[in-house]
Amino acid sequence: MNTLLKYSLATLLGLGSVNIASAATINEGTLDGTDVGLVDTLKEVIDKTSTAWTDLYGNGNSTADETAWVNDTLSTTGITFEIKTETVSYFSTDIIDVFAFAFNPTGDDYFIVKNATYLALFENLASLDYGVFNASALPSEMNISSGGVTISHVSSFNDPNSPPIIEPGPTIPEPTSIFLIGTGLLGLFGASRKKS
């Protein structure tokens, strides 16, 4: 077998085994079929009844306390509170244990998903239009187990030093790109055979 053909086949087989991260898509309710981007990064979860919270913030439940906690967690002082939205509906996605909700208006760099006891801080990396989180990383007491229900509230925070998020352009599906590379390699193979 020709050496070029062997390398071409090895390249195609190698490309076929690449694991590509995929975006989540809401699969229920009024937003069914909506692409909501990648899962946002969980930074920290805290129980507001724990001494870790009460020693620093007392029985505080204000946005100032939440902002102080976000800054302490991220070891910074520049994060500012933007907006608190109460009774936020969230929806299941096509990824197991991943849920999403729409920001209204557009979200910010960080957000907190909150219930009466817990705060969960996320970094919003993928899309400012949606919060996307993995519920399996959260305490079961947060009661986030199925879509179509509500979160007590979501607070969003802005980091004035972060670069703006640029939404990615359309992606080429992997089978298409592999096909294009394969076609090009076959063309090279054919051209080399024609010369011989």
Could you give the 3-state DSSP secondary structure of residue 171? coil
Q: Are 57 and 68 in contact (CB under 8 A)?
A: yes
Residue type for 1, please?
A: M
pLDDT of residue 153: 84
Mean pLDDT over 130-150 rounds to 78
Residue 75 lies in a domain: yes
Alpha helices in the chain (DSSP H): 3-16, 51-57, 63-73, 174-195
Structure tokens at 143: 């009661």
| pLDDT tens-digit series, residues 52-74 | 888 888 776 788 899 999 999 99
Residue 11 in any domain: the answer is no
* Residue 106: inside a domain: yes
Residue 188 lies in a domain: no
- Asked, for residue 152, whether it belongs to a domain, the answer is yes
Residue 190 inside a domain? The answer is no
User: How confident is residue 154, by pLDDT bands cut at 50, 70 and 90?
Assistant: confident
Residue 4 domain-assigned? Answer: no
Total number of domains in the chain: 1
Tell me, yes or no, if the pTM score tops 0.85.
no
What is the domain range of residue 46?
Answer: 23-171
Residue 141 belongs to a domain: yes
Lowest-confidence pick of 30-39, 46-55, 186-195: 186-195
Farthest CA pair distance, the chain: 82
